[in-house]
Amino acid sequence: MAKYIVKRILMGILTAFVVATLTFFIMNLVPGGPFLAEKAVTPQAQAAMEAKYGLDKPLFQQYLTYMGGLLHGDLGVSLKKRGFTVADIIGNRFPVSARLGGIAVLVAVLIGVPLGSLSAFNRGKAADNIIIVFSTAGIAIPSFLTCTLLMYFLSVKMKLLPSLGLDTPASYIMPVIALSLYPASYITRLMRSSMLDVIGQDYMRTARAKGVPAYKAVFKHALRNAILPVVTYLGPLLAYLMTGSFIVEKIFTIPGLGQEFVSAIPSRDYPLIMGTTIFLACFIILMNVIVDIAYAFIDPRIKLK
């Protein structure tokens, strides 16, 4: 397995390199630049700023400089948040997003897995129907709508929860609901269908026929097999939620990383675009490796090679 992990990590580094290279050249193809403002600065000031950040050099040379810095772990300085390095921004903001996203994933799993199982065991009954309706709605409702409705009722109308930031535990409630609604619904549905699959299997019948109690059959035999698709889904889910959601962070004014992914692009903050993209790529790769390892624990038949 160690060999497998090393192989995956090497592949990951290669992927990150390709992502970095493509992003670098694509972002430079887009018209405009970081110092282009509605009010033209004088050519002198423009030249001085470009010289200061090395943007006056030929593109390929800029690329080499950047990649050289990257090898040393230097992500450069932000061009639009003066005084912050890209590493500062990621270092300050990622923990905020990660904490929020981690809680949201936990909530999604804790709701989705039991509800999906419940739904499967009660197939066709009222409980199943209700769960299906809610999980379908949860998938269909976009998060900006959830956020807006939550904000309107819980914060503006009832004044129960703060509308800004993450200063108190109560501030987490709305963003976590908004972030976990979709994955919880999705996990419910995944869990339901895979559980239905599993409980129809011969070994389940055998287990029950041999007198294994229902709860034991479920936990020992069914759940373990049925949860595999959920685990697969958790890899990218963790990566996306923990690196922050643009919409949720914007609406609730959360100083997370999600906003930076998006706002770096219109402001042409080149180092920040590169830094956030490479960071996201690495994080997704890492999460996928972790999920693969988790597979091996859950299902001994899976051998990592």
Partner 1 sequence: MKKCVALALSAVLMASVCLAGCGKKEAGGGDSGAAAAPAEQGKTLSVQVGPSPETIDPALNSAVDGANMIIHAFEGLLKFDKDNNIVPGLAESYDISADGLTWTFHLRDGLKWSDGSDLTADDFVYSWKRVADPNTAAPYGYDLLNYVKGYDEAEAGNVDALAVSAPDAKTFVVELNNPCVYFDKICAFAVMVPVQQAAVEANGESWSTNPDTYVTDGPYYMTEYTDGSRIVFSKNPNYWDAGSVTFDTIIWNLIEDSNAAYSAYQNGDIDMIKDVPTEEIPSLEGNSEFYVDPIMGTYYVSFNTQKAPFDDPKVREALSLAIDREYVAGTIMQGTYSPAKNFVGPGISDEAAGSSFEEVTTQKYGDHFDVSNYEADLEKAKKLLADAGYPDGAGFPEFEYLTNDAGYHKPVAEYLQSAWKELGLTMTINIQEWKTVTADRRNGNFDVARNGWVFDWDDPSNMVNLLETGNGNNDGKYSNPEFDKAVDDARTTTDLKVHYEKLHEAEQIALNDAAMAPVAYYNDFWLQKGNLKGTWHSPYGYWYFMYGSLE
Site for partner 1 in 257-296 (CB under 8 A): 259, 263, 266-268, 287, 290-291, 293-294
Nearer to partner 1 by Cβ, of 71 and 158: the residue is 158
| Binding letters toward partner 1, positions 161-190, x by CB under 8 A | -xxxxxxx----------------------
Which residues between 91 and 130 bind partner 1 (CB under 8 A)?
Answer: 91-96, 98-99, 101-103, 105-106, 109
Q: Closest distance between partner 1 and the C-beta of residue 49, in Å?
A: 4
Please count the residues of this chain forming the interface with partner 1, following the rule CB under 8 A.
Answer: 81
- Among residues 3, 159, 301, 305, which is the contact residue for partner 1, using CB under 8 A? 159
Residue 179, C-beta contacts closer than 8 angstroms, at least 6 positions apart:
100, 101, 104, 143, 241, 245, 248
Residue 18, C-beta contacts closer than 8 angstroms, at least 6 positions apart:
none
Yes or no: say if 171 and 100 are a contact pair by the CB < 8 Å rule: no
Yes or no: say if 258 and 243 are a contact pair by the CB < 8 Å rule: yes
Residue 267, C-beta contacts closer than 8 angstroms, at least 6 positions apart:
34, 79, 80
Judged by CB under 8 A, the stretch of 85-93, 119-127, 178-186, 187-195 that binds partner 1 is 85-93
Nearer to partner 1 by Cβ, of 18 and 149: the residue is 149
| Binding letters toward partner 1, positions 1-20, x by CB under 8 A | --------------------
Which residues between 192 and 251 bind partner 1 (CB under 8 A)?
Answer: 219-220, 223-224, 227, 231, 234, 238, 242, 250-251
Q: Closest distance between partner 1 and the C-beta of residue 124, in Å?
A: 27
- Among residues 3, 72, 82, 301, which is the contact residue for partner 1, using CB under 8 A? 82
Which residues between 20 and 59 bind partner 1 (CB under 8 A)?
Answer: 30-33, 35-45, 48-49, 51-52
Rounded to whole angstroms, what are the CA distances from 297 to 167, 232, 233, 287, 292? 38, 13, 16, 15, 9
Q: Closest distance between partner 1 and the C-beta of residue 205, in Å?
A: 19
Residue 191, C-beta contacts closer than 8 angstroms, at least 6 positions apart:
112, 113, 115, 116, 117, 119, 120, 226, 227, 229, 230
Q: Closest distance between partner 1 and the C-beta of residue 85, in Å?
A: 8
| Binding letters toward partner 1, positions 134-153, x by CB under 8 A | --------------x--xx-
Q: Closest distance between partner 1 and the C-beta of residue 125, in Å?
A: 26
Q: Closest distance between partner 1 and the C-beta of residue 99, in Å?
A: 4
Yes or no: say if 97 and 105 are a contact pair by the CB < 8 Å rule: no
Q: Closest distance between partner 1 and the C-beta of residue 277, in Å?
A: 18
